[in-house]
Amino acid sequence: MNQQTSKIVRIAAIGTSGRGMGQLREMLSVPGVFVPAVCDKYEDRAQNAADMTAEVTGVRPAAYTDYRELLAKETLDAVLICTTWITHAEIAVAAMRAGCHAAMEVGGAASLEECWQMVRASEETGKFCMLLENCCYDRKEMALFQMVRQGILGEIVHLEGGYRHDLRDEIAYGRENRHGRLANFIHRNGELYPTHQLGPIAKLIGVNRGNRMLTVSAIASKARGLREFLRREQPADYYLANQEFRQGDVTDTTITCAGGETIHLVHDCTLPRPYSRTYVIQGTKGTFQEAPLGDAIYLDGVSKHHEWEPFGPYLEKHEHPLWKAYGKAGIHANGHGGMDYLVLSAFVDSLQAGTPPPIDVYDAAAWMAVTVLSEQSVTLGGAPVPVPDFTNGKWIDRDPFRRSVYCLEAVCEDCFL
Ligand SMILES: NC(=O)c1ccc[n+]([C@@H]2O[C@H](COP(=O)([O-])OP(=O)(O)OC[C@H]3O[C@@H](n4cnc5c(N)ncnc54)[C@H](O)[C@@H]3O)[C@@H](O)[C@H]2O)c1
């Protein structure tokens, strides 16, 4: 589905654990991608990624354990960064300053400074820094985006979303699995993973394009889930048996926006529950609500008075043209039902076209900053803290966005003809 499939782009993969391997495999199936190098600070993981790439493409990439060496030695168009949360920005900045575009996996920022560094590196080098927020390309999110742009829910007033994912084993066994989340749950307390729902929400209400986030306030519950899980699963002398985790089991974050909208985010990863992003969109003409037993919609004057309707028929009726085209082309449903392939395709399409990606450095900085701002607010007992304007005022009058099949600002029907 890439528009410029003829142009080959050279992309190195940095961070090749579970997610990095999945994204690398997915990226190898995007037309036009060549992977000359891979990197992980663990030698075995770098070698696994090189083996897998060789198996898929017949060409073995160079394997590195130091991304600085990779950037110094390789000729690249871009890097794909799937490392730990606290290393994404550092590597993206180094890559841009070495002349490469950067695509980063999602995760929040640990400081505002790293957000500014990404913005400055991108502005000064002209290199892109795309946050790979795959949920922006989810089938349901895209259908809802189209419905909102068509005015079906009226003027948008309030939005909710969450990352509600029982990750107790993945987090708790971070040492055994050499996985990055554990240290964050020991030392931090806030909205650690905001972007899965904030990304689609921000695009829906034009954040950084005529709108912006103004304040973040957050509170956190006590932290019991991991401790109880480990006490149940492990012997009394297990090294984390008496560990106090700072990260509250459930954190609630409220964001106010210049456009008058409010956003409520929930982070909830250490208590037993099925996965959900609990998406809610409330407008003057109706409400969409993701619910445990089925997504629902209520439209004023259309739905029976005070009764939810199932969302399924609306999803079919309002299918985004990208998903229609993707369905016709044959869905690569390996990565999260297809959205991984789409977000990577969007990045590759931007590289091939030489124009900024649909989720740019201002989006990355603003969305990632919510994590550190929520940590500050939790520390201040829920007091609102201001969100920096990473666009330096350009949000009120931005250059026009690029219309494309992967556009997340508008539904560009004309690009599908
Ligand atoms: N978008 C999604 O749906 C989705 C799904 C899963 C994970 N993720 C994100 O992907 C990222 C990776 O997730 P994971 O589960 O594979 O985490 P992980 O902790 O298992 O892997 C991170 C890898 O990065 C490597 N790394 C860290 N610092 C490095 C450095 N300086 N140089 C080279 N390599 C370095 C580590 O050695 C490790 O192999 C995380 O940010 C996570 O939040 C996104």
The first and second tokens of residue 139, run together, are: 């089938």
Which of 83, 104, 134 represents a domain boundary (last residue)? 134
Tell me, using a 6 A CB cutoff, whether residue 80 lines ligand 1: no
- Could you tell me if 28 and 49 are in contact, meaning their C-beta atoms sit under 8 angstroms apart? no
Q: What is the DSSP string of 362-373?
A: HHHHHHHHHHHH
State the virtual CA torsion across 59, 106, 79, 343 in degrees, nearest 10.
Answer: 70
Q: Are 353 and 402 in contact (CB under 8 A)?
A: yes
- Residue 316 CA to ligand 1 center (angstroms) comes to 34
Query: Do 262 and 124 sit in the same domain of this protein?
Result: no
Q: Which domain holds residue 360?
A: 135-337+355-416
Partners of 80 in beta bridges: 13, 103
22 Cβ closer than 6 Å to some ligand 1 atom: no
Cα(123)–Cα(96) distance, integer angstroms? 10
* Ligand 1 neighbourhood includes 335 CB (under 6 angstroms): no
Given this model, what pLDDT does residue 209 score? 98
Among the candidates 110, 134, 158, a domain finishes at: 134
- How remote is the CA of residue 365 from the centroid of ligand 1, in Å? 19
Same domain, yes or no: 240 and 316: yes
- Pocket mutation for ligand 1, best pick of 25, 39, 40, 65 (most atoms within 8 Å of C-beta): 40
Of 134, 166, 196, which residue sits at a domain end? 134
> CATH code at 145?
3.30.360.10
Kindly give the distance from the C-alpha atom of residue 197 to the centroid of ligand 1, in angstroms, as a whole number: 19
Which of 23, 27, 81, 105 is the best mutation target for the ligand 1 pocket, counting ligand atoms within 8 Å of the beta carbon and taking the most? 105
146 plus 286 within the same structural domain = yes
- Distance in Å, CA 89 to ligand 1 centroid: 13
- Per-residue tens of pLDDT for the chain, all 417 residues: 544 456 999 999 999 999 999 999 999 999 999 999 999 999 999 999 999 999 999 999 999 999 999 999 999 999 999 999 999 999 999 999 999 999 999 999 999 999 999 999 999 999 999 999 999 999 999 999 999 999 999 999 999 999 999 999 999 999 999 998 999 999 999 999 999 999 999 999 999 999 999 999 999 999 999 999 999 999 999 999 999 999 999 999 999 999 999 999 999 999 999 999 999 999 999 999 998 899 999 999 999 999 999 999 999 999 999 999 988 777 666 667 899 999 999 999 999 999 999 999 999 999 999 999 999 999 999 999 999 999 999 999 999 999 999 999 999 999 998
pLDDT score of 6: 61
Separation between Cα atoms, residue 408 and residue 117, nearest integer Å: 24
Overall domain count for the chain: 2
Distance 30 CA to ligand 1 centre (A): 21
The answer to whether the CB of 59 falls within 8 A of the CB of 72 is no
Query: What is the secondary structure of 178-214 as a DSSP string?
Result: T-SHHHHHHH--S-SS-HHHHHHHHHHTTBTTTB-EE
**CB–CB of 12/38 below 8 Å?**
yes
